[in-house]
A and B are shown apart, each in its own frame.
Chain A
Amino acid sequence: DTAVSQTPKYLVTQMGNDKSIKCEQNLGHDTMYWYKQDSKKFLKIMFSYNNKELIINETVPNRFSPKSPDKAHLNLHINSLELGDSAVYFCASSLDRGGGYTFGSGTRLTVV
Chain B
Amino acid sequence: AQSVTQPDIHITVSEGASLELRCNYSYGATPYLFWYVQSPGQGLQLLLKYFSGDTLVQGIKGFEAEFKRSQSSFNLRKPSVHWSDAAEYFCAVGGSGGYNKLIFGAGTRLAVHP
Contact = CB atoms under 8 A, between A and B. Distances in A.
Contact of B98 (A97, A103, A105): A97
Interface residues of A, number: 29
Interface of A: 4, 30-31, 33, 40-45, 48, 50, 55-56, 90, 92, 94-106
A48 B97 CA distance: 14
A26 B31 CA distance: 27
A43 B107 CA distance: 9
Contact of B95 (A40, A41, A98): A98
A41 B106 contact: yes
B104 A100 contact: no
A31 B99 contact: yes
Contacts of B98: 30-31, 50, 94-98
B12 interface: no
Given A56-B99, A100-B49, A106 B43 contact: yes
B56 interface: no
In which size bucket is the chain B interface?
A: 20 to 34
19 contacts: A30-B98, A31-B98, A41-B38, A41-B107, A43-B104, A48-B99, A48-B101, A55-B99, A90-B43, A94-B98, A97-B97, A98-B99, A98-B100, A100-B32, A100-B46, A103-B43, A104-B43, A105-B42, A106-B43
A43 B46 contact: no
A33 B90 contact: no
A98 B94 contact: yes
Contacts, number: 64
Given A41-B88, A42-B104, A96 B46 contact: no
Given A31-B98, A94-B98, A106-B42, 16 more contacts: A31-B99, A41-B106, A41-B107, A43-B90, A43-B104, A45-B101, A45-B102, A45-B103, A48-B101, A50-B99, A99-B49, A100-B32, A100-B49, A101-B44, A101-B46, A103-B45
The 4 nearest A-B residue pairs measured at CB: A96-B98, A43-B104, A103-B43, A105-B43
B106 A40 contact: yes
Nearest to A30: B98
Contacts of B26: none
